[in-house]
Amino acid sequence: MSYTSVKGMDDIVPPQSCLWADIEKKARHIFESFGFYEIKTPVVEKTELFTRGIGTATDIVEKQMYIFTDKNGDSLALRPEGTAPVVRAYIEHQLYHPDPYQKLYYMSPMFRYERMQKGRTRQHMQLGAEVFGASSPRIDAEVIFMLTQFYQAIGIENFKVQINSLGCKACRPGYREKLLAHFRHRISELCEDCKKRLEKNPLRILDCKNEQCQKVAVSAPQMTNHLCAECRAHFEGVKTSLNQLNVTFEVNPNIVRVLDYYVRTTFEIVSSDLGAQSALGGGGRYDGLVAALGGPDVSGIGFGSGIERLIIALEKKVPLGSATPQNYVDLFISALGPKAQAFSYGLINKLRLQGVRAEVDYDDHPLKTQMKKADRMNSRFVLIIGEDEMNKGEAILRNMNTKEQKSIPFGDILNEMEKNT
């Protein structure tokens, strides 16, 4: 009997994992430069956090959550998204005290029981960031700017920033009525899903991928034409700030998002390299969510971006067994004979502590086999130490790129490698 991973939940093995580590490292660097601190929350939360936080009329809550009952009889869910847990932690640890302004980021697996396709898995790794306690449209633009800077830093150039405003408690209900009237009038033209969605969540019809629904949506009223004065001013502020930061964007009235907590700004960064699941990342403002989950009335804005989609956009699926710059070994020590083996064992672990990625053959194969092994590992250098070398206190250092080799005293190994790098 052999086992495979659960459908839609993939292993990330080397050397692909090196690429992931590189993306995570760059994300940390950029997010921290913008003043964000990392937060880690558990993979499992009480189910109610998501039903209240995300909204009962969303696909995530209706169909996609992994829910189970624990031995205590509590209903728990694997985290389908990161915002509600971060808000929960923000409230639980009173991170709003003494100043509500907090910037937090996370890199966490998310779980959604979805129909699988390219760029859509049942476990995905999300990089996310949340800002609490800042209502200015300047922060909305800054969060979008940071995300675009991150994409550029990892080498993704082909993307578009699309923004929208979903209004607020004051202006959205009136708009919703207008939208309902539009779709009720043409209900027969909608897909079965949208017919069901109509009364509960008419906004979601705007981003239905069904061609027929899209035709009906084209002539639908747009939220941006029905914003109250405050929301209009806020949206104008976001656009002005994005221009100030030289972020090219377009307004897309159909960016309604899959979660119910959004107000005012919503955005998605899309790429034509991705296929049907075209969003590299997305997010928006969720003023009111902190209060709805039992905290003070603090505003919030953030985004999430799945690493799997970044990898697709980078087109860097590295085939197993091939080298990436990250999986190079710096030095392979080929020790021949018991004395050299004992010496090398000490040396290798000393070199590792000095930051050299060093490997050795633990099975004491003959030199030829060891050289083949060094090659397979993509080692940059091989250090050959036999009985003779032990007696002289020297080793043969071979540069695997140039194939040059020379005898050097043990103490000069690092210097010599640096000179030849």
* Shortest separation between residue 257's beta carbon and ligand HAM, angstroms: 6
Q: Which is nearer to ligand HAM, 80 or 202 (CB)?
A: 80
Which residues within the stretch 386-415 sit at the binding site for ligand HAM (CB under 6 A)? none
85 binds ligand HAM (CB under 6 A): no
What DSSP line would sit under 315-364, residue for residue? T--PPTTS--GGG-EEEEEEE-SHHHHHHHHHHHHHHHHTT--EEE-TT-
For the chain, how big is the Rg over CA atoms in Å?
27
Looking at beta carbons, which pairs linking 191-197 to residues 24 or more positions away fall under 8 Å?
A: 197/57
Count of residues near ligand HAM by CB under 6 A: 28
Between strands 358-360 and 123-132, the pairing is: unpaired
Q: Is 133 in the site for ligand HAM (CB under 6 A)?
A: no
| Only segment of 43-51, 126-134, 201-209, 226-234 that touches ligand HAM (CB under 6 A) | 126-134
User: Under a CB-based contact definition with an 8 Å cutoff, are residues 259 and 60 in contact?
Assistant: yes
Nearer to ligand HAM among residue 96 and residue 381 (C-beta):
96
Binding segment for ligand HAM (CB under 6 A), chosen from 27-35, 123-131, 187-195, 368-376, is: 123-131
> Structure tokens of 345?
């064992």
For 196, the token pair is 């069901």
* C-alpha span between 366 and 19 (Å, rounded): 34
- Our CB check for ligand HAM shows the closer of 140 and 389 to be 140
Could you tell me which stretch among 154-162, 214-222, 242-250, 301-309 binds ligand HAM (CB under 6 A)? 301-309
Tokens 């207008």 -> residue: 178
The residues in 161-180 that bind ligand HAM, with binding defined as CB under 6 A, are none
In the complex, least distance from residue 223 CB atom to ligand HAM, rounded to whole angstroms = 18
Query: Least distance in Å: CB of 323 to ligand HAM?
Result: 27
Identity of the residue, 9 or 342, whose beta carbon is nearer to ligand HAM in the bound complex: 9
Distance CA 138, CA 407 (A): 62
Handedness of CA 270, 275, 280, 284 (dihedral sign): positive
Which contiguous run of DSSP H or E holds residue 250?
strand 249-251
By CB under 6 A, which span of 124-132, 176-184, 218-226, 353-361 interacts with ligand HAM? Answer: 124-132
In the complex, least distance from residue 239 CB atom to ligand HAM, rounded to whole angstroms: 19
C-alpha dist (Å) from residue 63 to 22, 58, 283, 377: 34, 8, 21, 46
Beta bridge partners of 300: 132
- Which residue among 108, 252, 305, 344 contacts ligand HAM (CB under 6 A)? 305
Give the shortest CB-75-to-ligand HAM separation in angstroms.
Answer: 21
Q: Determine if 114 is a binding residue for ligand HAM (CB under 6 A).
A: yes
Strands (E), 276-409: 279-285, 300-306, 329-335, 358-360, 379-385, 394-399, 405-409
CB of 156 to ligand HAM, least distance (A): 12
Q: Which is nearer to ligand HAM, 83 or 201 (CB)?
A: 83
| Contact status, residue 241 vs residue 230, Cβ threshold 8 Å | no
Footprint on residues 241-300 left by ligand HAM (CB under 6 A): 258-259, 279-284, 286
Q: Which pair of tokens denotes residue 299?
A: 């505003």
- Our finding on whether 128 is near ligand HAM (CB under 6 A) is yes
User: Could you say which of 79, 103, 124, 226 contacts ligand HAM (CB under 6 A)?
Assistant: 124
Q: C-beta of 249: minimal distance to ligand HAM in Å?
A: 16
Stretch that binds ligand HAM, among 9-17, 121-129, 172-180, 325-333 (CB under 6 A): 121-129
C-beta closer to ligand HAM: residue 24 or 364: 24
- Candidate list 103, 112, 204, 226; residue touching ligand HAM; CB under 6 A: 112
**Pairing status of strand 75-78 against strand 67-69:** antiparallel
How far is it, in rounded angstroms, from Cα 133 to Cα 99?
A: 8
Q: Pairing state of beta strands 123-132 and 102-111?
A: antiparallel
- CB under 8 Å, gap of 24 or more: what pairs does 185-194 form? 186/216, 189/213, 189/215, 189/216, 190/216
162 bridge partner residues: 250, 268
Please answer whether residues 305 and 127 qualify as being in contact, where contact means their C-beta atoms are separated by less than 8 angstroms. Answer: yes
Q: Which of 31, 303, 332, 381 binds ligand HAM (CB under 6 A)?
A: 303
Judged by CB under 6 A, which of 103, 172, 234, 309 binds ligand HAM? 309
Of the residues 47, 108, 126, 224, which one makes contact with ligand HAM according to CB under 6 A = 126
| Residues at the contact surface with ligand HAM, assessed by CB under 6 A | 81-83, 112, 114, 119-121, 124, 126, 128, 130, 258-259, 279-284, 286, 302-306, 308-309
